[in-house]
Amino acid sequence: MHVVPTPERRAPVRAIGRPRNDADAAPTASPRAGIVNAATKLFSEKGYAQTTMSDIARASGLQQSSLYYWFRNKEQLLQETLLVNRAPLKFIAEVGAGSGSPAVKLYRLLRFDTMQLAMSPIDFNEIQRIAHEQRSEFHQFWTDYERLKDWVVDLIGAAINEGKFIDCDKQDIAGILLNFDEGAQKRTRLHTDQGDRVEEAIRVGEQVAIIAVRGLLKRPSEIERIRVQAAQFDDAAVARQIAVPPSD
């Protein structure tokens, strides 16, 4: 995917999450949804490595044999949690559908990605470590991650072609910007109480977007105009929907 869409209209806000599969998971009353919710909470509280299938079964109110009917191992459960907790790939399409210049689109994308990562109950750095060690089982994770990086590369390239951004290695900078987002999640998780995390995530997301885009601008003073244009879009509302998904 190497084309930045032409602005046309603002797409409606909907619950979407960063990497995630293309198919939306519809709310369901099945035990599967309860298991995923319980696992997500445990991964957040205890960490993925310290959580056992027995812990998840107990938190779900199921016998362990029943849990294995739905999920054969903890890795499969982790991948299921990623469906609702990672990858703004649909958000990217919405940004591309109508939010101004490539610089504004990049600002919104980085802001949103940082916010939804910081609000997530799952530690992305831990997910990435597991996905790196088990690349064959997490191939979709890496496919989605590369799609996300491609969009960042395209936006940087488009802004360079417009004469707005400094000339730079687009691939390297795209990777650094995504690492910036991911590092902000770690900082927020370590230094913010759970109850204050949503508001702190919104504040940090704005700061990351400002610093990242300002550093690429040929005229750094233009960052205020970009910030004002991006402020017209309530991307925090989408991130909040991911952080507090509807209960089953």
Q: What is the pLDDT of residues 124-144, one digit of tens each?
A: 777 788 778 878 777 878 888
Query: Any bridge partners for residue 217, and if so which?
Result: 165
Q: What is the CATH code of the structural domain delimited by 23-85?
A: 1.10.10.60
pLDDT tens digits for 196-246? 778 888 999 999 999 999 999 999 999 999 999 999 998 888 777 765 544
Residue 222 three-state SS: helix
Domain with CATH 1.10.357 in the chain: 88-243
Alpha-carbon distance of 169 to 131, in angstroms, equals 26
Q: Which of 206, 17, 4, 237 is nearest to 107 (CA)?
A: 206
Does residue 85 surpass a pLDDT of 70? no
Q: How far apart are the first and last CA of the chain?
A: 34
The sign one gets for the Cα dihedral 87, 93, 99, 103 is positive
Does residue 18 surpass a pLDDT of 60? no
Task: Read off the pTM.
Answer: 0.73
Is the Cβ–Cβ distance between 243 and 205 less than 8 Å? Answer: no
Q: Which of 175, 136, 180, 141 is nearest to 156 (CA)?
A: 175
List all residues 6 or more positions away from 121 whose beta carbon is below 8 Å from its beta carbon. Answer: 40, 41, 43, 44, 85
CA distances from 188 to 27, 156, 184, 193, 237 (A): 29, 26, 6, 9, 19
How does the average pLDDT of the chain come out, rounded?
79
The fold adopted by the segment(s) 88-243 is: Tetracycline Repressor; domain 2 (1.10.357)
Does residue 176 surpass a pLDDT of 90? yes
Domain with CATH 1.10.10.60 in the chain: 23-85
Does residue 58 surpass a pLDDT of 50? yes
List all residues 6 or more positions away from 94 whose beta carbon is below 8 Å from its beta carbon. Answer: 10, 11
